[in-house]
Structures are given as structure tokens and as C-alpha cells.
Amino acid sequence: MLQIRKATIEDLNAILEIYNEAVLNATATFDTTPRTFEKQLEWYNNHKENHPVFVAEENNTIVGWASLSPYSDRCAYDTTVEVSVYIHHDHRGKKIGSQLLEVTTLEGEKVKNHTVISRISSDNLSSIHIHEKIGYKHVGTLKEVGYKFGKLLDVTIMQYLFS
């Protein structure tokens, strides 16, 4: 049975493994170099109360994670956050991403954020679909802003606005 819970420091190795697999094999992130454990620990420690990190756990195994991160370091953006969702490659297509996205998005409102932004590689149609299903709106497309795997990539910008 799938359990979604707040991440702990003990989850960092699993989070890092899932993230680095995406770095090497997917356009879900525009990072091109795998992250070190030290960098992942710094990332984790920078996530404060209104920037939670969640994991999806199944049979005592972390199968995905999601987080809310600051959208910008400028003060006027304090209640605007960016969502990230990553699923272990063996567990994609099982609706884990939808569940993680929904829990993380709703937690964003509980911790007093005003809006959630998602930047999605435009070729990632499944991610765009689950965002739409949760209630995110397409607010724009940035043309050819990323370069990965030998090609220029567009980015779809989606937004969830708490009313």
C-alpha cells in the first residue's frame, strides 16, 4: 500500500537515487550532472516549513518524492513556490505522481503559500496531464530554453492558484 509522508533525512539516499536517474535519463530536470549527497543534504536543509518535501513509500521502499521550493529569493515572491515531482523509473505509470502532486500542492496552501508554479519540459506529456488533472492551469510556454540530450527543449509553465 502506498503511503505519502513528509521526508526525513534518512530518505535522502533514495531521493538522490531517484533524482540522479532523472538527471541521466529524462528531461524531468534540466540538470545534466548527477548531484552529490552533500549537495542533496544542503537542498534538504534549505527546505523550511513552507517548503515541505514528501516521499511516497511502498513496501518500505521510497518510490517517489515531491517538494515545494522557493520560486525566487526575492521577498515579494515569498508565498510563491515551485513544485517538483520525481518517480522511480520502475514505478512510473501507477498514479504515484498524481497522488504526490496532489498532496504536495494541497500542503502548499496549508503552510500559507499563495500559488504553486510548475516548470515542465514540454515533451513530458504525462506530467502536463497530471498537473491538469489536479487543477493546474497552463499559463505559458518558454521556447527553446533548455538544451539536453542534443536538442533544444521548450518548457510549459503551469500554475495552481489558491483562492
Strand partners, 151: 148
Instruction: Convert the pLDDT of each residue in 81-132 to its tens digit.
Output: 999 999 999 999 999 999 999 999 999 999 999 999 999 999 999 999 999 9
- Written as one letter, the residue type at 145 is V
Residue 163 has pLDDT above 90, yes or no: no
Q: What range defines the domain where residue 103 resides?
A: 2-161
What whole-number distance in Å separates Cα of residue 130 and Cα of residue 101? 8
* Contacts (Cβ under 8 Å, ≥6 apart) of 24: 34
Instruction: Convert the pLDDT of each residue in 1-11 to its tens digit.
Output: 999 999 999 99
What whole-number distance in Å separates Cα of residue 160 and Cα of residue 105? 8
Residue 138 pLDDT class (50, 70, 90 cuts)? very high
Q: What is the CA radius of gyration of the chain?
A: 15
pLDDT of residue 31: 96
pLDDT of residue 48: 85
Q: Total domain count for the chain? A: 1
Q: How confident is the prediction for the chain on average, in pLDDT?
A: 96
Instruction: Convert the pLDDT of each residue in 25-74 to its tens digit.
Output: 999 999 999 999 999 999 999 998 889 999 999 999 999 999 999 999 99
pLDDT of residue 100: 97
Q: How many angstroms separate the Cα of 7 from the Cα of each of 1, 14, 66, 85, 139?
A: 17, 10, 9, 13, 30
* Contacts (Cβ under 8 Å, ≥6 apart) of 100: 4, 54, 56, 64, 65, 66, 85, 87
Question: 50: domain CATH number?
Answer: 3.40.630.30
